[in-house]
Structure 1
């Protein structure tokens, strides 16, 4: 059920980082690391599983919305997730951007 805005002590702008503000050029990140960065944490910060699930709820749509500014790399092994990084000139495999 909707809640009146007056029920909250403060309201904040719904601003998100751009990929260039969040990710370092030349680096690739898992969606788990991106989730931490979006919350101002270090990419390798220890968080509990429940918190990580909540953070992923924010990170996955962020990746989708910013897809035009990102590149993706397949996992190196079956045990690890994919990686995302800033799209830079020359950062996309030949033919992959067509």
Structure 2
């Protein structure tokens, strides 16, 4: 159910990092790592699975929105996800 804006003490702009701001140029990242980076965490930060699932809700649309500026690599083996990096 929608909530009135007046119920919140503070409202922030909905600004997201660009791939250039978020990624090192020579690195590739999984969507799980992207989710952490978008929250200001280290890519390898240890987080609870429930938290990771919530962060993925932010990361997946971010990848879609920035697809023109990204490159994709297939998983190196069957038990890992794909990787994303900055398009040069």
Aligned-CA RMSD value:
0.5
TM-score by length of 2: 0.98
Paired position in structure 2 for 1:29: 29
Aligned to 2:7: 7
Please say which structure displays the higher CA radius of gyration.
Answer: 1
SS at match of 1:29: coil
Q: Which residue number in structure 1 is paired with residue 76 of structure 2?
A: 76
SS of aligned partner of 2:85: strand
* Structure 2: gaps spanning 5 or more residues: none
What is the deviation of 1:2? 1.9
- Alpha-carbon separation, structure 1, partners of 2:2 and 2:36: 29
Q: TM-score, normalised by structure 1?
A: 0.88
